[in-house]
Structure 1
Amino acid sequence: MNRKIALALAVPLLLAGTYGGWHWWSVARFQEATDNAYVEADITMISPRVEGYVGAVEVVENQMVQAGDVLLRLDDRDLAAKADQARARRDAAAASIANIDSRLTLSGALIRQADAGVAAAQAEQRRAGADAQRYTALATREFASQQKLATTQADAQKAGAALTKAQAALTAERDQLSVLSTERAKAEAALEEANAALVLAENDLEKSVIRAPIAGVIGSSGARVGQFVKAGTQLMALVPVQDAYITANFKETQIGRLRVGQPVELSIDAYPGMKVEGRIDSLSPASGAQFSLLPPENATGNFTKIVQRVPVRVALPKDGPLAGRLRPGLSVEVSVDTRHDGRDLIGIAKADTAIPQQVAVRP
């Protein structure tokens, strides 16, 4: 009887052992697993870019928002006044340029008038000089009186002085044109400055309305109406749950066969019994300890070897059963099938991000 019982037990035990050995040889020995894995997302902290009082909060915690939705508004009365002030300065600078342009037009007309005056003075000087020469010849032969000679000579000198005056007026008008051109260049620079100030003021006014930069769920909202906030104050968090991913911290003894694109089986504690497939997206360039606040210094006399862990990012399918349902911080168990090199699974030959193998170099 004992022999029959032993024989009856030996057969299923043999089959179970055979199956276990076959499973280990064909599957289990290629699996790299860890339970040190968590759901993560690139959380965006919402902060104002200008200071002011909170005028209205348009969202509540746990609310789903889309990119561009209004999250909160700051009291914009002061910012609107500054924008109006900058706009008035811009208009004043533009009016100054228009005034200078009118003066330039007038200066051009005055230059033409002064030029005509110079031409008239030159003609008068030539006439008076010719008369003086004729009366000088006549007076020499006593055909003209000395009084008439003196009068013509005085007229010639008066015509010369008038010509000098007309030429000076022409020079002054031309110099005034240069001054106006310089003033216009200065006014154009002032207009550009006013335009820049207006752009800055309008930007600040626009920044008083804080919008969602990405789609996600509102969390940790601390904004309250009437609260005074400065630029950079963290008011709420925006969690892109639809773009959640897994960070699995593998031991350094496990990453030798990990490659980008390899399939990953995920078991999430919050959803027991549900298996989710993912892909290795990237491997960290250093162990987690290297990015800590105080990295370990191993060049000391009290060195103790500790197995290090390397963060591995696992991408989730966008249309998976848990898309949009995962929350950062959830615990996950990860198992990677290293039988695949990953390249044929992602469709492109990505660079291998695992630890590079040493290559022997011939001398």
Structure 2
Amino acid sequence: MTDAQNTADTQVEAKAANNPTAMKSKRKKLLTIFAVIVITIGLIYAIVTLVFDNSVNTDNAYVGADNAQITSMLNGQVLQVMVGDTQQVKKGDILAIIDQRDAQIALQQAEAQLAKAKRQYTQSSANSSSLSSQVLVSNDDINSARAQVVQSQVTLTKAQNEYQRRGQLAATGAISKEELASYQSALDTAQANLNVAKASLAQAESKQKAAQSNLAANEALIRGTSQDSTPDVLVAQAAVDQAKLDLSRTVIRAPLDGVITNRNLQVGQRVAPGSVLMVVVPVQQLYVDANFKESQLKRVRVGQTAVLTSDLYGKDVEYHGKVIGFSGGTGAAFALIPAQNATGNWIKVVQRLPVRIQLDPKELQEHPLRVGLSMDATIDLNSK
């Protein structure tokens, strides 16, 4: 019975094989099925490309901000602390006050030095007038000394002539030796007076040169300057400005709007320049650092829009942002202990690159965030 059935099936297949129409119909059916499969795969790829490949997403994203560290600019004791942690502040609000007495004393000393420098300039200007008068007076002294020299020279000449005549008379015995000695004494006196007159002339000329040198030196100090532009006054004025600045720095103010955090300041504490007193977080100027895989960044560009959600508010609250930049390297590249990949047992690990997304301030005002919160970020790759 079985052999009969096999024989019948064989005959049917032989007939079908010998029938060209049946073969053509079967081939057409197979091609149709293959075409449907290809079209289905194409449609699936198109749907995935158009719908699911227009964005990249990561949940490895965190809120960040450019915090303002409040530091002391001078030494001093804290008198008042006006704010506490979690407190909202506005730009210009007083945060703390440092004892001002030392700064006030320093300002008074600087102002005294400024007044002294101005007085010294006035004195130098007066000295110029005095030295000019001395130069003029020295001219009169020189003229007087020169006249004295001329007079002494005439007296000496007269004494020399008298002595010579008396000497001739003394040779004939017409006058006594005592009278000749008196004329010799007069001659010596006239010579001495001439020497004294010459010395006085030299002294007057030296005084004039000294006065001229002092005048030139004094003029060099004040030439081309006024009381407000002389170097000593400028240095003293700079010290006053610095003292005023130090006095103003005893009142510490908020540099921007934000929330106080990490306050390390107590009344009575002595602070030093550079010590961090507190931090102001600008909660209205937050951004998100989204860490995307390197394989996701091929089409990501600066300026593309992003939609973000926070674990704090859930999926119902969406934030809208814009890509503003890429980090200069991956987190592993800037790690304290970089990965050592040049080893025999190296395993490739997909790296992540931080992408910075700027958030909308209006949305932040409606739903405030805090630094460090987790975010879910999706970048629209078709946006410009």
Normalising by structure 2, what TM-score?
0.72
1:6-46 residue CA offsets vs partner (Å, 9 max, x unmatched): xxxxxxxxxxx999877534221222101111111111221
SS at match of 1:60: coil
SS at match of 1:236: strand
**Are 1:275 and 2:318 matched, yes or no?**
yes
Give the number of equivalent residue pairs. Answer: 323
SS at match of 2:333: helix
CA contact (8 A) 1:40 1:246 kept: yes
Instruction: Specify the alignment match of 2:345 in structure 1.
Output: 302
CA contact (8 A) 2:57 2:379 kept: yes
| 191-200 or 269-278, which deviates more | 191-200
- Give the whole-Å Cα distance in 2 for the aligned partners of 1:226 and 1:250: 48
- Give the whole-Å Cα distance in 1 for the aligned partners of 2:141 and 2:82: 74
1:329-361 residue CA offsets vs partner (Å, 9 max, x unmatched): 222111111123x3xxxxxxxxxxxxxxxxxxx
SS at match of 1:35: strand
CA contact (8 A) 1:278 1:315 kept: yes
Select the structure of larger CA radius of gyration: 2
CA contact (8 A) 1:54 1:229 kept: yes
SS at match of 1:38: strand
SS at match of 1:256: coil
Q: Where do 5+ consecutive residues of structure 2 fail to align?
A: 1-40, 167-178, 224-229
* C-alpha deviation, 1:289, in angstroms: 1.4
Instruction: Specify the alignment match of 1:220 in structure 2.
Output: 262
Q: Which of 155, 160, 168 in structure 1 is aligned with 2:206? A: 168
**Are 1:209 and 2:247 matched, yes or no?**
no
Instruction: Specify the alignment match of 2:146 in structure 1.
Output: 122
* C-alpha deviation, 1:250, in angstroms: 0.4
Instruction: Specify the alignment match of 1:329 in structure 2.
Output: 372
**Are 1:50 and 2:88 matched, yes or no?**
no
Letter in 1 for 2:258: G
* C-alpha deviation, 1:170, in angstroms: 1.9
Instruction: Specify the alignment match of 1:356 in structure 2.
Output: none
**Are 1:67 and 2:109 matched, yes or no?**
no
Instruction: Specify the alignment match of 2:355 in structure 1.
Output: 312
SS at match of 1:235: strand
Letter in 1 for 2:74: V
**Are 1:230 and 2:272 matched, yes or no?**
yes
Instruction: Specify the alignment match of 1:353 in structure 2.
Output: none
Q: Which of 52, 58, 67 in structure 2 is aligned with 1:28? A: 52
* C-alpha deviation, 1:258, in angstroms: 0.7
Q: 1:160 to 1:227 in 2, by over 3 A?
A: closer
- Give the whole-Å Cα distance in 1 for the aligned partners of 2:364 and 2:163: 125
1:279-301 residue CA offsets vs partner (Å, 9 max, x unmatched): 11111121111122222221223
* C-alpha deviation, 1:134, in angstroms: 6.7
| 225-234 or 308-317, which deviates more | 225-234
**Are 1:251 and 2:293 matched, yes or no?**
yes
* C-alpha deviation, 1:238, in angstroms: 0.2
* C-alpha deviation, 1:327, in angstroms: 1.6
CA contact (8 A) 1:241 1:324 kept: no
Instruction: Specify the alignment match of 1:284 in structure 2.
Output: 327
Compute the RMSD of aligned alpha carbons.
3.4
Q: 1:218 to 1:19 in 2, by over 3 A?
A: farther
SS at match of 1:250: strand
Q: 1:48 to 1:161 in 2, by over 3 A?
A: closer
- Give the whole-Å Cα distance in 1 for the aligned partners of 2:43 and 2:345: 47
- Give the whole-Å Cα distance in 2 for the aligned partners of 1:245 and 1:252: 21
- Give the whole-Å Cα distance in 2 for the aligned partners of 1:279 and 1:183: 63
CA contact (8 A) 1:37 1:334 kept: yes
Identity %: 32
CA contact (8 A) 1:284 1:310 kept: yes
